[in-house]
Amino acid sequence: MVDRNGQGRDVSPSGSPTRPPSSFVEQANVTDEGIYETFEDEWPECWDRAGSLLEWDQEYETILDDSDAPFYRWFPDGKLNASYNCLDRHLEAGRKNHAAIWWEGKRGESETYTYRELFVAVNEFAAALRELGVEEDDVVTIYLPMIPELPVAMLSCARIGAPHSVVFAGLSADALATRMEAADSEYLLTCDGYYRRGDAFNQKSKADNALLSLSQDVSTVVVDRLGEDLPHVLGENQYDYDDLTAAHEGETVEPVTRDAEDMLFLMYTSGTTGEPKGVVHSTGGYLSYAAWTSHAVLDIKPDDTHWCSADIGWITGHSYIVYGPLALGTTTVMYEGTPDYPDRDRLWEIVDRNAVDVFYTAPTAIQAFMKWGTEYPDRHDLTSLRLLGSVGEPLSPRPWRWYHEHIGGGECPIVDTWWQTETGGIAITTLPGVSEMKPGAAGPPLPSIDARVVDDDGAAVGPGEDGYLTIQTPWPGMATTLYDGDDEFVEEYWRQFSESEDDEWVYFSGDAAQVDEDGYVTILGRVDDVINVAGHRLSTMEIESAILDVDGVAEAAVVGGTSGANRTDVYAYVSTENDYEPGDALSRTIVSTVEAAIGPIARPEEVIFTSELPKTRSGKIMRRLLEDIASGDELGDTSALRNPEIVGEIQAATRTE
């Protein structure tokens, strides 16, 4: 049996299949039902459809070189530049005055960048980066909230062939330092601060703290976001963004020709060990896959206004706010604020005002909208919407139907898209112009994505049975390696089901899933030491190691518990050293230590003290049992426990918290 990681939702029977409306199908980018078969027959040449969405400095002759699997090389003899593909070619095509980015600020302000304006900003900052000494292949770390300088900087890096490493602005100083150290990054772009719930929040002091602990010298660029609201001082080797770019006003920088497999960026995410993993994405494979899935799944047209409400600090924002939409030359909306400020209709007001065509968000958000009620979307005209998307967690049938009816007016297909930082782009979902939707199931794998649900031995399980989600053929968007090292890459993703080099290489996602008789996949949750909290991927081991740093803590086990409303929270089970009084003070220290080590997103919802953690006879902490307790589920088999008497105590402590 697959041992799920507290993320397991009740698998409600999928809702009744729903066909996409013909009004949608008539205009969809992909409508050919035969596409699944074609891709299978023509593999890997089928991926020319993705490659040909881009413009290449040197056309590729080879689609895939798999001689060094699992290090697959896509379009290996092709050369291109990502910034050129997202900017210059649209100017050349006469679309310079078309809006590229529609930015909506936290305080109701908005800004539009046409493709021409974005081109200018990117060139100026690229010139500034060069002046600072950034060379091809130098990693530039970007630690910014959702302000236009963030995508500008990403494209500037891409222009000069410097991989970016964007670190989510909400992560702590320690988390930033770990990532910069691991990537040996000598350049940092941050800002003075940003508004959080109306107050000025200091980002630069976090960045400065991170810099203090680094062994390398770092040049820092600071965006002045808050002006008078939060005055700041520049230290040694720190530069003002506006001053730097003003010095390069009107300059252009020739896009650097990159090999298709050269690194476009790295993105740190939680893996199965405590350390964050630096997932490496290529220029040609990644960009073509982001563009292809934006075209085929999100149905993006150049004249659309596309809004993905994720944060660019995570992969969803990289692929579907920045690279996919801009590669296709569309208008992408970027929103800095939260859905409930100044009121709970904020998102719908933005959809209405900008006539958004495609809206892509997360189940946590959809569940919040549902709780707030229909009066908020009802205040606005949402008829511009053509397609809705969901990503990050399972979307259950009830919120699916609410989203379909109250946001989509019953007329927009919904794509429930499964993918990961490592897949680079969407891998499992319906093609909205082709397939029936089944609420509750993500859908069939995309054409040529050979996703299979398997048992411990790697054999496919039958319909409706739990198993591990694997992908058995390579695809262009896949991570090329881990920055931490090639061996780590193989260990983390490829060893579970391919033990020897002679085996076929099988990619293991870390998720449990089921597949139904029509091949639709329902995701059950993580099976490894990773938990998914409100769409944030967290390593339980990373949180545990932060807690173990607290004075008085003897042992800690962190699990994800689903409390009532299908929401996963962080539960920390802690035992203290002899003579150490557990209590509120210690609990507060534990919470603040986790916030300092990782960030508020990893904050334990509950800290539960227990005299001992439940352990197997071989001394392993039985996390599965703790997950069941945290979620209030029936307890599974406890016969392997060495200390079964502890279970009652832990249950009682969890309930009274």
Among 416, 484, 528, 529, binds ligand WT7 (CB under 6 A): 416
Shortest gap between Cβ of 489 and ligand WT7 (angstroms)? 15
Helix (H, G, I), strand (E, B) or coil at 101: strand
CB of 394 to ligand WT7, least distance (A): 4
Buried b (16+ CB within 10 A) or exposed e, 551-575: eebebbbbbbbbeeebbbbbbbbbb
Angle at 518 between CA 515 and CA 519, to 5 degrees: 40
Distance of CA 356 to the CA centre of its chain: 22
Compute how many other C-beta atoms are within 10 angstroms of the C-beta atom of residue 532: 22
Give Dmax (Cα) for the chain.
74
Count of other CB atoms within 10 angstroms of residue 360: 23
Compare residues 156 and 631 and give the one whose CB is closer to ligand WT7: 631
One of 203, 282, 293, 417 touching ligand WT7 (CB under 6 A):
417
Where in 501-530 is the site for ligand WT7 (CB under 6 A)?
A: 509-511, 523, 526
Which residue in 177, 315, 414, 630 binds ligand WT7 (CB under 6 A)?
315
Chain residues 525-564 in contact with ligand WT7, contact rule CB under 6 A: 526, 532, 537
Please, what is the minimum distance in Å from the beta carbon of residue 425 to ligand WT7? 8
Determine the distance from the C-alpha atom of residue 496 to the mean position of all C-alpha atoms in its chain, rounded to a whole number: 23
Work out whether strand 64-65 and strand 414-417 pair parallel, antiparallel, or are unpaired.
unpaired
- All residues at 6 or more sequence positions from 483 whose CB lies less than 8 Å from its CB, including other chains: 182, 183, 266, 277, 278, 279, 280
Pick from 420, 472, 480, 575: which binds ligand WT7 (CB under 6 A)?
420
Question: Which residue, 179 or 526, is less far from ligand WT7 as judged by CB?
Answer: 526
Closest separation between CB of residue 487 and ligand WT7, Å?
A: 21
In the complex, least distance from residue 317 CB atom to ligand WT7, rounded to whole angstroms = 10
Binding mask 33-62 for ligand WT7 (x = CB under 6 A): ------------------------------
496 binds ligand WT7 (CB under 6 A): no
**Per CB under 6 A, which region of 53-61, 93-101, 419-427, 487-495 contacts ligand WT7?**
419-427
CB of residue 629 vs ligand WT7: minimum separation in angstroms? 22
User: Bridge partners of 361?
Assistant: 390
| In the complex, minimum distance from the CB of residue 550 to ligand WT7, in angstroms, rounded to a whole number | 27
CB of 524 to ligand WT7, least distance (A): 8
Q: Binding residue for ligand WT7 (CB under 6 A) from 14, 141, 361, 421?
A: 421
Give 354 or 420: the residue with its C-beta nearer to ligand WT7: 420
Place of tokens 């003075």: 192
User: Which of 195, 323, 418, 609 lies at the binding interface for ligand WT7 (CB under 6 A)?
Assistant: 418
Comparison of 269 and 470: residue with beta carbon closer to ligand WT7: 269
Which residue's CB is nearer to ligand WT7, number 367 or number 610?
Answer: 367
Q: Which two tokens stand for residue 304?
A: 């659309």
Cα–Cα distances in angstroms (integers) from residue 486 to residues 143, 159, 481, 493, 500, in the given order: 26, 26, 6, 11, 16
Tell me how far apart the alpha carbons of residues 228 and 226 are, in angstroms, rounded to a whole number: 6
Rounded distance, CA 622 to CA 615, Å?
5
Q: Give min distance, CB of 427 to ligand WT7, in A.
A: 9
Contact letters (x/-) for ligand WT7, 99-138, by CB under 6 A? Answer: ----------------------------------------
Site for ligand WT7 in 372-401 (CB under 6 A): 391-394
| φ/ψ (deg, to 5) at 223 | -85, 130
Which residue, 593, 604, 548, 598, is CA-closest to 575?
A: 548
Nearest to 187 by CA among 125, 130, 141: 141
Task: State the minimum distance, in angstroms, from the CB of residue 287 to ligand WT7.
Answer: 16
Tokens, residue 311: 């944060």
Residue 528's nearest CA partner among 175, 2, 9, 171 is 2
| Closest CA relative to residue 568, chosen from 634, 524, 507, 625 | 524
For residue 175, the minimal CB distance to ligand WT7 (Å) is 15
On whether the CB atoms of residues 507 and 314 are closer than 8 A, the answer is: no
Compute the distance between CA of residue 74 and CA of residue 259 in angstroms, rounded to an integer.
Answer: 10
Size of the site for ligand WT7 (CB under 6 A): 22
Antiparallel, parallel or unpaired: β 331-335 and 99-104: parallel
**Residue 613: Cβ within 10 Å count:** 21
Q: Cβ of residue 230: shortest distance to ligand WT7, in angstroms?
A: 30
Question: What's the Cα-to-Cα distance from 270 to each of 170, 266, 484, 509, 524, rounded to whole Å?
Answer: 15, 13, 13, 13, 18
Distance from the Cα of residue 332 to its chain's centroid: 17
Judged by beta carbon, residue 288 or residue 316, the one nearer ligand WT7 is 316
Footprint (CB under 6 A) of ligand WT7, residues 227-286? 269
Binds ligand WT7 by CB under 6 A, chosen from 83, 141, 316, 576: 316
Least Å from the CB of residue 378 to ligand WT7: 27
Number of H helices, E strands in the chain: 22, 30
In angstroms, what is the minimal distance from the CB of 526 to ligand WT7?
5
Nearer to ligand WT7, 537 or 615 (CB): 537
What stretches of 46-115 adopt beta strand conformation (E)?
A: 64-65, 73-74, 79-80, 99-104, 110-114
Q: Pick from 442, 479, 531, 601 the residue near ligand WT7 by CB under 6 A.
A: 442
The one segment of 27-35, 410-418, 457-465, 589-597 that binds ligand WT7 by CB under 6 A: 410-418
Choose the binding region for ligand WT7 from 44-52, 132-140, 239-247, 309-317 (rule: CB under 6 A).
309-317
Q: Which parts of this chain interact with ligand WT7 (CB under 6 A)?
A: 269, 314-316, 391-394, 416-421, 442, 509-511, 523, 526, 532, 537
